[in-house]
Structure 1
Amino acid sequence: MNKKKILFICPYPFDEAPSQRFRFEQYLSILEKEGYEFKLAPFLNLKAWKILYQPGNSIKKLFWLILSFINRFFLLFKLAPYGFIFIHREAAPIGPPLFEWAIHSIWRKRIIYDFDDAIWLEDPTEKGSLKARFKWKSKVKSICKWSYKVSCGNEYLAQFAQNLNKQVVINPTTIDMQYHKEIKVSNSDKIVIGWTGTHSTLPYLKILMPVLDQLRKEYEFELLLISNQKPNFDVNYMRFLKWNKESEIEDLNQMDFGIMPLTNDIWSKGKCGFKLLQYMAIKKPIVASSVGVNKKLLKESEAGFEANTDKEWKEAIIKLLNDAELRQTFGISGQNYVKNFYSVNTNKKTFISLFQ
């Protein structure tokens, strides 16, 4: 066993999923410079990942799911060289934590357990479904107990983990300022209000659509929506861009300011505010629901407005639509804040400490 060798067990292929890219993948080069060796072991390979969220293909999906479980089983016989096993979210997307139990109880490996959502709770979009039952949410508590250290994206998640494990590290989701850069792009004459996120978070934006519809009757603006899937709603002032890692930063820079509506519930409190960090990193002002870590980011960054009611959302958006100077001031403040507190550079010592 080599304490400088790490196996990263994760759900998705390398460089494909935001949670992995910004939770640990962007630190791999830093680990390498510190003398660590590592290997990634995703549950899904690239072929499986590409069909997972496509409609149909049920037989192919079942085939890849079974094959992925088989590969996980054989992985258990390859753990000997590793000093640390870093598990991001879970070793398998469904079923009890059999793999995690084997890693802890049979192999006696040091597990670093990492998560950036309240994954022990039932996702509101899946509540009561068969899918929710198969996810076996109770396993999160067990994995926390078995872990050498638990890496949590914010204080709310850490409070949960601290009841189960004495070594909990608040390891925020961070921004690589060399990647998230402000660049000039050719925009339309209209102010662009931006939102980005995966398809699973689109319901939060949908809640805000009546407010935007009302504002659009009086003000000229465009809603830019960047996601991995088209929304199930459409309006004539909305422009959809399919998320593309090759053009991600250029697409984000088309915004004049970014929004992040959330519902005020225990699931949302587990969110790590990554949308806001992305907006701020490229010098875009923000309007967001002050739920969970959003409240902290809004207060400390002074980069925009909090909005929790329809009236507050309208007032905040109108101010940013009408005042270019205010947008610039908020943008500078937010960018400095991310650079000083939520960048890879400022957090690298915390990340490396997980393996010490």
Structure 2
Amino acid sequence: MPPVKKILFFVPCTPYFPSGIVRVEQFFNLLEKDGYAYELLNMIHPRSQMLLERLDRSAWGKQKITDFVIRVAIHLVFLPYQYLQMLKVAAQANKFDIIFIQSNLMPAPIVDFIQRKNPRIIYDFDDAVFLRNQARAIHIISKAWKVFAGSHYNLDFARRHNPASILIPSAVDLAEYPPLTANPERSDPIRIGWIGGASTLKYLRHLVAPLENLARKGYHLQFLITGSRGSEKLIPRVEGVELKVIEEYTHAEIPSLADKMDIGVMPLDDGPWEKGKCGLKLLIYMAAGKPCLSSPVGENQIIIRDGENGFLASSAQEWEQQLEALISNPDLYQRIARQGRKTVEEHYSVMKVYEMIRAELVDA
């Protein structure tokens, strides 16, 4: 019997950073079945994230000066913990077959020390982290044994610094989403849904005019917003449209939230950070059998084949037209819903993506 291979996963901070769940934890059962052992380390102390979330909801967090001062204080108090965690990885590196670093950017000397003890470093990133600290990103990518990029935009950057870079898309566990009914039905009012967080509420401004125009045409709509996390002041008001806000949710609640929607939306700005996103919202909507619309930015243009498994909208007029088409045409609604689900089944399910990951682990 071959010896068990051990992997050390070093993630930002689960469950506060969903990438640790989506890119790492949801594959643990499959890794165990294939005979891998693993350990998980957070870089950031969970208590620091808990305090930051409390700040977001507090009166102090609503004032720019106090918000800034308290955030800096929290960061400084917990910064030593981050370095201790990095050093812990370095100290244990030679005890594992693979060191899997998810998104974390570390000082070059620490990366070099880890690599000397264990050259089999996999660096995985699903956001354009190189925009935050390009020097650190380039260094860890160039030193990695392999690089897993979550989007084509991120992959292009990674390949400039490491030819052993491949695309590993984010995945959705279809076991958590019930199979589609023969004819997916819509509710009344029609629920236009969005799943996100406080930092991405700003993108919802792209939907205000389209939704208001549809309401003026007599469509009965509800705008379902999940993930505001105490930032309700950033939520746009849409005249004539019922607003329902769910402030917080856990990863386990995402399938049930998506099931409450009729149409899923993912508006984005067309900027460098947005181009690095992996389109996970779209995959969630598709897995739940909900037709989706998105801005034609980054990986969204890869996931969505416009008019086939979803729609791309680059202007307020296009958002309005595509939403109206889905609302007014039941056959189109059902066709797009089925094709979206099929897209996830064929390309973005946990099993499909795990097969890609497993192929990269075999020669460790």
Q: Which residue of 1 aligns with 2:212?
A: 213
Question: Quick check: 22-31 or 53-62, which moved more?
Answer: 53-62
Q: Which residue of 2 aligns with 1:268?
A: 274
Q: Which residue of 2 aligns with 1:133?
A: none
Do residues 82 (structure 1) and 96 (structure 2) align? Answer: yes
More helix as a share of residues: 2
Cα gap change, 1:152 to 1:71, in 2 (>3 Å): closer
Contact 2:126 2:149 in 1 (8 A): yes
Contact 2:6 2:36 in 1 (8 A): yes
Aligned residues: 337
Cα deviation digits, residues 35-75 of structure 1 (max 9, x gap): 11110010123323312333265545532333332343344
Do residues 67 (structure 1) and 81 (structure 2) align? Answer: yes
Contact 1:221 1:237 in 2 (8 A): yes
Contact 1:11 1:91 in 2 (8 A): no
CA distance in 2, matches of 1:75, 1:326: 51
CA distance in 2, matches of 1:90, 1:148: 16
Equivalent position to 1:298, from 301, 304, 308: 304
- Cα shift at 1:271: 1.5
Contact 1:84 1:111 in 2 (8 A): yes
- Cα shift at 1:220: 1.6
Do residues 317 (structure 1) and 323 (structure 2) align? Answer: yes
Query: Any residues of structure 2 matched to 1:158-173 within 5 Å, and which?
Result: 158-173=155-170
- What RMSD over aligned residues (CA atoms) do the two structures have, in Å? 2.5
Query: Any residues of structure 2 matched to 1:116-127 within 5 Å, and which?
Result: 116-122=126-132
Letter in 1 for 2:244: R
Contact 1:270 1:292 in 2 (8 A): yes
Contact 1:43 1:91 in 2 (8 A): no
Q: Which residue of 2 aligns with 1:103?
A: 114
Q: Which residue of 2 aligns with 1:125?
A: none
Letter in 2 for 1:99: I
Contact 1:11 1:44 in 2 (8 A): yes
Cα gap change, 1:113 to 1:244, in 2 (>3 Å): same
- Cα shift at 1:109: 3.1
Cα gap change, 1:301 to 1:139, in 2 (>3 Å): farther
Percent identity between the aligned chains?
A: 30
Do residues 308 (structure 1) and 314 (structure 2) align? Answer: yes
CA distance in 2, matches of 1:202, 1:294: 18
Question: Quick check: 283-292 or 2-11, which moved more?
Answer: 2-11
Cα gap change, 1:301 to 1:5, in 2 (>3 Å): farther
- Cα shift at 1:3: 7.7
- Cα shift at 1:138: 2.1
Query: Any residues of structure 2 matched to 1:1-356 within 5 Å, and which?
Result: 4-13=5-14, 15-55=15-55, 58=71, 59-91=73-105, 96-105=107-116, 107-122=117-132, 136-181=133-178, 189-218=188-217, 219-227=219-227, 229=229, 230-231=231-232, 232-235=234-237, 237-245=242-250, 246-299=252-305, 302-355=308-361, 356=363
Per the normalisation by structure 2, the TM-score is 0.85
Q: What SS does the corresponding residue of 2:265 show, helix, strand or coil? A: strand
Q: What SS does the corresponding residue of 1:86 show, helix, strand or coil? A: strand
Letter in 2 for 1:102: F
Per the normalisation by structure 1, the TM-score is 0.86
- Cα shift at 1:238: 1.7
Letter in 2 for 1:276: L
Cα gap change, 1:175 to 1:204, in 2 (>3 Å): same
Question: Quick check: 28-37 or 297-306, which moved more?
Answer: 297-306
